Amino acid sequence: MNKLELLKTFIRVAEMSSFTQASDALNLPRSTVSEHIRGLEDLLDTRLLLRTTRKVQTTPDGQVLYERSKDLLAQMDELENLFRQDNAVLSGRLRVDMPTAVARRLVMPRLGEFIARHPLIELEISSTDRRVDLVREGFDCIMRVGELPDTSLVARSLGHLQMVNCVSRSYAERFGVPRTLEDLQQHRLVNYVSSFGGSDSMFEYHRDGKDCYVAMPCSVTVNYIEAYEAACLGGLGIVQIPRLAERYQLARGDLVEILPDYLPAPMPVSLLYAHRRHLPQRCRVFMDWMEQLLGEYGVQR
């Protein structure tokens, strides 16, 4: 058996605490994953994983091997491309997660450019608005928009998204537009939350280095970015969205910008990846491409 393949399988099982999830991530039959683990345990003459009906966890020896193997495989990845001058020869799986709106509007229409440069990289693009677990779900890097929680992951800043306040043209024609903060009480806000329960409906703006809030009536509360924008386009009220996201609607005349002197603070955009001494080259070139792409769409450094 290829010893590196055995180590790759072991690392994925250890990270996901599941043979089934690891087999899905590796696109291997579950029986093959089990065979790889048995082969590695026989080769090293030690028990690496403890299996119960509920989960799989590493033994003390397995944990030592896990920590050493991650660096070893990252170094092997680097060595494979050390003397290659042409990035077109980069190969292997690259699994990335990003917000739905970024994937649909920005990345997918331009992804063919990256594939043309690196046709042997096997891309897997996840686009969700939930917080995926980079390690457990086997992602090479994930994009996050907004402030980052404390994390053991490495963050690469791509810049900041400028924000804008908008209503739909149909809303403006029916209800007019607010000219001052006091006018907000005569209007409706589309409220966005990450999870339902106990969240007040607030109009946010940044002034003198501080975030300020104005409570105002709410028409609907949503927890999904696509629904947030759709609610605005449907004439349900005010939204506060990245200028990057609304440039298409403004170009078509579907949205009207309001209160330009009362904008939320710019939102940071970051790429997160696991701490590795040597980041795989295929991941590095994708992150470089993403930084260039977002710069073209107005993300400011």
- At 190-236, the pLDDT tens digits run 998 877 776 788 999 999 989 999 999 999 999 888 889 899 999 99
CATH fold of 87-159+270-296 reads D-Maltodextrin-Binding Protein; domain 2 (3.40.190)
Name which residue leads in pLDDT, 176 or 242. 176
Distances in Å between the Cα of 114 and the Cα atoms of 79, 149, 182, 296 are 23, 30, 48, 15
Secondary structure of residue 256 in the 3-state scheme: strand
DSSP 300: B
pLDDT for 254: 83
- Kindly tell me if the per-residue pLDDT of 43 is higher than 70: yes
Query: Taking 70 as the threshold, does the pLDDT of residue 82 lie above it?
Result: no
Amino acid 122: pLDDT: 86
- 183, burial (CB in 10 Å: exposed 0-12, middle 13-18, buried 19+): middle
Mean pLDDT of 151-164: 87
pLDDT at 78: 63
Q: Please, which residues have CB within 8 angstroms of residue 159's CB and are 6 or more apart in sequence?
A: 268, 269, 291, 294, 295, 299, 300, 301
Task: Say yes or no to pLDDT of 252 above 80.
Answer: no
Strands 239-242 and 163-168: antiparallel
Report which of 72, 8, 67, 63 is spatially closest to residue 39, judged by C-alpha positions: 8
With 60 as the cut, is the pLDDT of residue 85 above it? no
Domain at 3-80: CATH architecture: Orthogonal Bundle (1.10)
Which has the closest alpha carbon to 153: 273, 283, 270, 280? 273
pTM for this model (two decimals): 0.70
Q: Taking residues 291-298, what's their average pLDDT?
A: 85
For residue 71, what pLDDT is reported?
Answer: 67
Check if 87-159+270-296 and 163-265 are the same fold.
Answer: yes
For 166-181, give one letter per residue: b (16+ CB within 10 A) or e: bbbbebeeeeebbeee
Residue 74: the pLDDT is 67
Q: What is the mean pLDDT of residues 170-196?
A: 92
- pLDDT, residue 5, reads 87
Token reading at 244: 């990057």
Confidence of residue 173 (pLDDT cuts 50, 70, 90): very high
Burial of 266 (0-12, 13-18, 19+ CB in 10 A): middle
Instruction: Write the pLDDT tens digit of every residue in 108-149.
Output: 999 999 999 999 888 999 987 777 778 777 788 999 888 887
Q: Pick the residue with more confidence: 228 or 300?
A: 228
**Contact, 93 vs 124, CB < 8 A?**
yes
Residues 9, 122: Cα–Cα separation, whole Å: 18
Beta strands in 92-151 (DSSP E): 92-98, 121-127, 141-145
The yes-or-no verdict on residue 251 having pLDDT over 70 is no
Architecture of the domain spanning 163-265: 3-Layer(aba) Sandwich (3.40)
Residue 295 reports pLDDT greater than 90: no
2-11, 82-91, 99-108, 178-187: which is most confident: 178-187
Model pLDDT, residue 24: 85
Average pLDDT, the chain: 85
Q: How far apart are CA 250 and CA 266, in angstroms?
A: 19
Alpha-carbon distances, residue 235 vs 66, 123, 173, 184, 252 (angstroms): 53, 38, 10, 16, 16
**How far is it, in rounded angstroms, from Cα 64 to Cα 58?**
9
Domains of the chain by residue range:
3-80, 87-159+270-296, 163-265
Quote the pLDDT of residue 143: 92
Give the pLDDT band (50/70/90) at residue 179: very high
Q: Hey, how many other C-beta atoms are within 10 angstroms of the C-beta on 129?
A: 15
Task: Check residue 139 and give its pLDDT.
Answer: 85
Q: What's the CA gap between 145 and 271, in Å, rounded?
A: 9
